[in-house]
Amino acid sequence: MRSNPKKIKVKDSDRKPFVATIVATAIILISGVVFHMLVVRVGWSMSRLHIAPDMLESFPINIGDWTGQDIPLDEAIARKTGTDAHLNRRYIHTDNSKIVSLYIGCGGRTAEIAYHQPNVCYIGSGWKIEEQHLLDLPLSDYNKLPCTIYQFIRDELRKERVIVLHYWIVDGQFRRDASLVRSRLLRITSKVNYVAQIQIVCPVKTSTLDSAEKVVTEFAIDSTSLIAELFERIHLYQAQQ
Protein backbone atom coordinates (compact mmCIF):
# COMPACT_ATOMS: atom_id res chain seq x y z
CA MET A 1 0.00 0.00 0.00
CA ARG A 2 1.43 3.34 -1.10
CA SER A 3 1.43 6.11 1.46
CA ASN A 4 0.37 9.58 0.47
CA PRO A 5 3.29 11.96 0.03
CA LYS A 6 3.55 14.48 2.76
CA LYS A 7 2.88 18.05 1.84
CA ILE A 8 5.65 20.37 2.83
CA LYS A 9 4.33 23.45 4.47
CA VAL A 10 6.21 26.68 3.99
CA LYS A 11 6.20 28.82 7.05
CA ASP A 12 5.43 32.50 6.71
CA SER A 13 8.84 33.24 8.16
CA ASP A 14 10.47 31.26 5.31
CA ARG A 15 8.19 32.66 2.62
CA LYS A 16 8.81 36.33 3.39
CA PRO A 17 12.52 36.44 2.44
CA PHE A 18 11.74 34.51 -0.76
CA VAL A 19 8.94 36.88 -1.74
CA ALA A 20 11.07 39.87 -0.82
CA THR A 21 13.84 38.63 -3.11
CA ILE A 22 11.43 38.26 -6.04
CA VAL A 23 9.97 41.71 -5.42
CA ALA A 24 13.43 43.29 -5.13
CA THR A 25 14.57 41.62 -8.35
CA ALA A 26 11.47 42.80 -10.17
CA ILE A 27 11.98 46.35 -8.92
CA ILE A 28 15.59 46.34 -10.13
CA LEU A 29 14.61 45.05 -13.57
CA ILE A 30 11.71 47.47 -13.94
CA SER A 31 13.84 50.35 -12.69
CA GLY A 32 16.50 49.52 -15.28
CA VAL A 33 13.93 49.57 -18.08
CA VAL A 34 12.33 52.78 -16.78
CA PHE A 35 15.75 54.42 -16.40
CA HIS A 36 16.66 53.54 -20.00
CA MET A 37 13.33 54.87 -21.28
CA LEU A 38 13.74 58.01 -19.22
CA VAL A 39 17.21 58.74 -20.57
CA VAL A 40 16.08 58.16 -24.16
CA ARG A 41 12.92 60.24 -23.80
CA VAL A 42 14.60 63.04 -21.89
CA GLY A 43 17.48 63.00 -24.36
CA TRP A 44 15.06 63.59 -27.22
CA SER A 45 13.00 66.13 -25.29
CA MET A 46 16.16 68.08 -24.50
CA SER A 47 16.91 68.52 -28.19
CA ARG A 48 16.92 72.32 -27.97
CA LEU A 49 19.29 73.14 -30.81
CA HIS A 50 19.14 71.61 -34.26
CA ILE A 51 22.38 72.06 -36.17
CA ALA A 52 21.95 72.13 -39.95
CA PRO A 53 24.15 69.59 -41.79
CA ASP A 54 26.01 72.33 -43.68
CA MET A 55 26.90 74.37 -40.58
CA LEU A 56 30.28 72.65 -40.18
CA GLU A 57 31.36 73.33 -43.76
CA SER A 58 32.81 76.70 -42.76
CA PHE A 59 35.44 75.04 -40.60
CA PRO A 60 38.85 75.98 -42.10
CA ILE A 61 40.52 73.65 -44.57
CA ASN A 62 43.87 75.24 -43.71
CA ILE A 63 44.92 75.31 -40.04
CA GLY A 64 48.40 76.74 -39.57
CA ASP A 65 50.74 74.31 -41.33
CA TRP A 66 47.96 71.74 -41.81
CA THR A 67 45.93 71.28 -45.01
CA GLY A 68 42.67 69.36 -44.92
CA GLN A 69 40.75 67.12 -47.28
CA ASP A 70 37.14 66.06 -46.75
CA ILE A 71 36.60 62.32 -46.40
CA PRO A 72 32.90 61.43 -46.88
CA LEU A 73 31.51 59.40 -44.00
CA ASP A 74 29.43 56.35 -44.87
CA GLU A 75 25.75 57.35 -44.61
CA ALA A 76 24.82 54.23 -42.63
CA ILE A 77 27.51 55.04 -40.06
CA ALA A 78 26.52 58.71 -39.96
CA ARG A 79 22.88 57.82 -39.19
CA LYS A 80 23.92 55.61 -36.29
CA THR A 81 25.79 58.46 -34.58
CA GLY A 82 22.56 60.39 -33.98
CA THR A 83 24.22 63.64 -35.05
CA ASP A 84 22.58 66.53 -36.89
CA ALA A 85 25.86 67.47 -38.56
CA HIS A 86 29.30 65.95 -38.86
CA LEU A 87 32.69 66.70 -40.35
CA ASN A 88 35.26 64.08 -41.31
CA ARG A 89 38.61 65.31 -42.65
CA ARG A 90 42.20 64.23 -43.10
CA TYR A 91 44.80 66.90 -42.33
CA ILE A 92 48.38 66.65 -43.58
CA HIS A 93 51.25 68.77 -42.29
CA THR A 94 53.26 70.79 -44.83
CA ASP A 95 56.34 68.63 -44.26
CA ASN A 96 54.24 65.51 -45.16
CA SER A 97 55.56 63.72 -42.07
CA LYS A 98 52.40 64.16 -39.98
CA ILE A 99 48.86 63.12 -40.74
CA VAL A 100 45.70 63.12 -38.62
CA SER A 101 42.00 62.50 -39.09
CA LEU A 102 39.54 64.96 -37.53
CA TYR A 103 35.96 63.96 -36.75
CA ILE A 104 33.39 66.37 -35.34
CA GLY A 105 29.85 65.15 -34.69
CA CYS A 106 27.23 67.36 -33.08
CA GLY A 107 23.53 67.91 -32.52
CA GLY A 108 20.73 68.25 -30.01
CA ARG A 109 19.92 64.55 -29.56
CA THR A 110 22.30 64.55 -26.63
CA ALA A 111 21.59 61.14 -25.10
CA GLU A 112 22.11 59.38 -28.41
CA ILE A 113 25.30 61.27 -29.28
CA ALA A 114 26.78 60.85 -25.79
CA TYR A 115 26.56 57.07 -26.15
CA HIS A 116 28.96 57.06 -29.11
CA GLN A 117 32.51 57.50 -27.84
CA PRO A 118 35.84 55.79 -28.62
CA ASN A 119 35.80 53.25 -25.80
CA VAL A 120 32.43 52.03 -27.11
CA CYS A 121 32.61 52.41 -30.89
CA TYR A 122 36.20 51.34 -31.47
CA ILE A 123 35.74 48.22 -29.36
CA GLY A 124 32.52 47.50 -31.25
CA SER A 125 34.53 47.66 -34.48
CA GLY A 126 37.07 45.07 -33.38
CA TRP A 127 39.69 47.25 -31.69
CA LYS A 128 41.13 46.72 -28.21
CA ILE A 129 42.23 49.40 -25.76
CA GLU A 130 45.93 48.99 -25.00
CA GLU A 131 46.21 52.10 -22.89
CA GLN A 132 44.37 55.30 -22.02
CA HIS A 133 45.15 58.33 -19.88
CA LEU A 134 43.79 61.75 -19.08
CA LEU A 135 45.43 64.92 -20.29
CA ASP A 136 44.96 68.66 -19.78
CA LEU A 137 46.43 70.48 -22.78
CA PRO A 138 47.55 74.10 -22.27
CA LEU A 139 45.91 76.44 -24.80
CA SER A 140 47.11 79.80 -26.06
CA ASP A 141 44.44 81.71 -24.07
CA TYR A 142 45.72 80.30 -20.75
CA ASN A 143 42.84 77.84 -20.58
CA LYS A 144 43.24 74.08 -20.64
CA LEU A 145 41.65 71.44 -22.82
CA PRO A 146 40.54 68.40 -20.78
CA CYS A 147 40.75 65.33 -23.00
CA THR A 148 41.42 61.59 -23.05
CA ILE A 149 44.16 59.84 -25.03
CA TYR A 150 43.38 56.29 -26.19
CA GLN A 151 45.72 53.76 -27.73
CA PHE A 152 43.86 51.09 -29.73
CA ILE A 153 45.21 47.96 -31.40
CA ARG A 154 43.64 45.67 -34.01
CA ASP A 155 44.95 42.52 -35.70
CA GLU A 156 47.54 40.91 -33.43
CA LEU A 157 49.67 39.84 -36.42
CA ARG A 158 50.01 43.22 -38.10
CA LYS A 159 49.67 45.14 -34.82
CA GLU A 160 47.59 47.91 -36.38
CA ARG A 161 47.52 50.78 -33.87
CA VAL A 162 45.97 54.23 -33.65
CA ILE A 163 46.16 57.05 -31.11
CA VAL A 164 42.87 58.88 -30.47
CA LEU A 165 42.55 62.22 -28.68
CA HIS A 166 38.95 62.74 -27.63
CA TYR A 167 36.92 65.47 -25.92
CA TRP A 168 33.42 66.97 -25.81
CA ILE A 169 31.89 70.41 -26.12
CA VAL A 170 28.66 70.69 -24.13
CA ASP A 171 26.85 74.00 -24.66
CA GLY A 172 30.15 75.75 -25.35
CA GLN A 173 32.08 74.15 -22.49
CA PHE A 174 35.04 71.82 -23.01
CA ARG A 175 34.49 68.49 -21.25
CA ARG A 176 36.62 65.41 -20.88
CA ASP A 177 33.64 63.04 -20.81
CA ALA A 178 29.86 62.99 -21.13
CA SER A 179 29.13 63.05 -17.39
CA LEU A 180 27.68 66.57 -17.60
CA VAL A 181 25.26 65.40 -20.29
CA ARG A 182 24.13 62.42 -18.22
CA SER A 183 23.69 64.46 -15.02
CA ARG A 184 21.58 67.06 -16.80
CA LEU A 185 19.47 64.42 -18.53
CA LEU A 186 18.49 63.03 -15.15
CA ARG A 187 17.43 66.45 -13.87
CA ILE A 188 14.15 67.20 -15.60
CA THR A 189 14.49 70.93 -14.96
CA SER A 190 17.90 71.08 -16.66
CA LYS A 191 18.59 71.10 -20.36
CA VAL A 192 21.38 70.50 -22.83
CA ASN A 193 21.10 72.55 -26.01
CA TYR A 194 23.72 70.64 -27.96
CA VAL A 195 26.69 68.34 -27.58
CA ALA A 196 29.70 67.96 -29.89
CA GLN A 197 32.19 65.12 -29.96
CA ILE A 198 35.71 65.72 -31.28
CA GLN A 199 38.14 62.95 -32.22
CA ILE A 200 41.67 63.46 -33.53
CA VAL A 201 43.24 60.23 -34.78
CA CYS A 202 46.81 59.41 -35.80
CA PRO A 203 47.86 55.99 -37.17
CA VAL A 204 50.88 54.65 -35.31
CA LYS A 205 52.29 52.88 -38.37
CA THR A 206 53.49 56.25 -39.67
CA SER A 207 55.29 57.07 -36.41
CA THR A 208 56.17 55.75 -32.95
CA LEU A 209 53.65 55.71 -30.11
CA ASP A 210 55.22 58.75 -28.46
CA SER A 211 55.42 60.75 -31.66
CA ALA A 212 51.84 59.79 -32.64
CA GLU A 213 50.59 61.16 -29.33
CA LYS A 214 52.65 64.29 -29.89
CA VAL A 215 51.04 64.71 -33.33
CA VAL A 216 47.43 64.53 -32.03
CA THR A 217 48.17 66.89 -29.14
CA GLU A 218 49.87 69.35 -31.52
CA PHE A 219 46.88 69.32 -33.86
CA ALA A 220 44.46 69.65 -30.91
CA ILE A 221 46.26 72.78 -29.71
CA ASP A 222 46.24 74.24 -33.24
CA SER A 223 42.55 73.49 -33.89
CA THR A 224 40.74 73.86 -30.55
CA SER A 225 40.22 77.64 -30.66
CA LEU A 226 38.87 77.36 -34.22
CA ILE A 227 36.46 74.61 -33.17
CA ALA A 228 35.28 76.72 -30.22
CA GLU A 229 34.73 79.72 -32.55
CA LEU A 230 32.79 77.49 -34.95
CA PHE A 231 30.28 76.53 -32.26
CA GLU A 232 30.01 80.11 -31.04
CA ARG A 233 28.96 81.12 -34.56
CA ILE A 234 26.51 78.21 -34.77
CA HIS A 235 24.94 79.18 -31.45
CA LEU A 236 24.62 82.84 -32.45
CA TYR A 237 23.18 81.92 -35.85
CA GLN A 238 20.57 79.62 -34.34
CA ALA A 239 19.64 82.22 -31.69
CA GLN A 240 18.84 84.71 -34.44
CA GLN A 241 16.53 82.35 -36.31
pLDDT, position 200: 97
pLDDT in tens, the chain (241 residues): 444 544 444 455 444 443 343 333 333 333 333 334 444 444 444 446 778 888 898 999 999 999 999 998 888 777 778 889 999 999 999 988 899 999 999 988 877 887 778 988 899 889 999 999 999 999 877 789 999 999 999 987 778 899 999 999 988 889 998 765 655 554 444 577 888 999 999 998 756 788 999 999 999 999 999 999 999 888 776 666 6
Who contacts 136 (Cβ-Cβ below 8 Å, separation ≥6)? Answer: 144, 145, 146, 147
Give me the residue spans of the domains in the chain.
46-240
pLDDT, position 177: 84
pLDDT, position 78: 76
pLDDT, position 43: 43
Count of residues in the chain? 241
Cα three-residue angle 129-137-175, rounded to 5 degrees: 70
* Burial of residue 1, with CB atoms counted within 10 A of its CB: 0-12 exposed, 13-18 middle, 19 or more buried: exposed
Hey, is 230 helix, strand or coil? helix
Hey, is 211 helix, strand or coil? helix
pLDDT, position 207: 60
As a whole number of Å, the CA-based R_g of the chain is 24
